[in-house]
């Protein structure tokens, strides 16, 4: 369930849950998924961090993400480029 959290860390931001196996991470729409996963101790492989290489591809099992700037790397349906995807709903992911 997407939630509006108002506290000193999240400051009235919409927060979404990212499910990865038995882990749950709360993320905002303020920055891409990759750095938020990293701060939670979830390491995703990456190279360019700008949407060119597709090294950060992860599987999107359900939920919605958006790309403020369309990445140059090809993204197959059901996959996400974590370095440039903004989470727009609660999602469930799997690392490759």
User: Which letter does DSSP use for residue 47 in this model?
Assistant: S
Residues in contact with 85: Cβ distance below 8 Å, sequence separation at least 6, in sequence order: 32, 33, 65, 66, 67
If binding is defined by CB under 6 A, does position 32 make contact with ligand FES?
A: no
If binding is defined by CB under 6 A, does position 52 make contact with ligand FES?
A: yes
State which of residues 36, 46, 58, 60 lies at the interface with ligand FES (CB under 6 A): 46
Alpha helices per DSSP H over 1-96 = 33-39
If binding is defined by CB under 6 A, does position 83 make contact with ligand FES?
A: yes
State which of residues 73, 79, 86, 89 lies at the interface with ligand FES (CB under 6 A): 73
Please give the C-alpha separations between residue 66 and each of 21, 79, 83, in angstroms, as whole numbers.
Answer: 22, 12, 12
Stretch touching ligand FES by CB under 6 A, among 7-15, 20-28, 49-57, 88-96: 49-57
Our CA dihedral for 78, 64, 52, 70, rounded to 10 degrees, sits at: 120
State which of residues 10, 13, 17, 49 lies at the interface with ligand FES (CB under 6 A): 49
Contacts with ligand FES, residue ranges (CB under 6 A): 46-49, 51-56, 73, 81, 83
């Amino acid at each position: 369930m997407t939630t509006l959290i108002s506290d000193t860390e999240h400051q009235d931001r919409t927060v979404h849950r990212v499910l990865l196996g038995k882990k749950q991470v709360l993320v905002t729409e303020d920055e891409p998924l990759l750095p938020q996963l990293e701060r939670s101790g979830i390491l995703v492989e990456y190279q360019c961090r700008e949407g060119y290489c597709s090294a950060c591809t992860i599987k999107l099992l359900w939920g919605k993400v958006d790309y403020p700037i369309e990445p140059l790397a090809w993204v197959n349906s059901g996959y996400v480029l974590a370095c440039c995807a903004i989470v727009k709903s609660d999602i469930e992911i799997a690392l490759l």
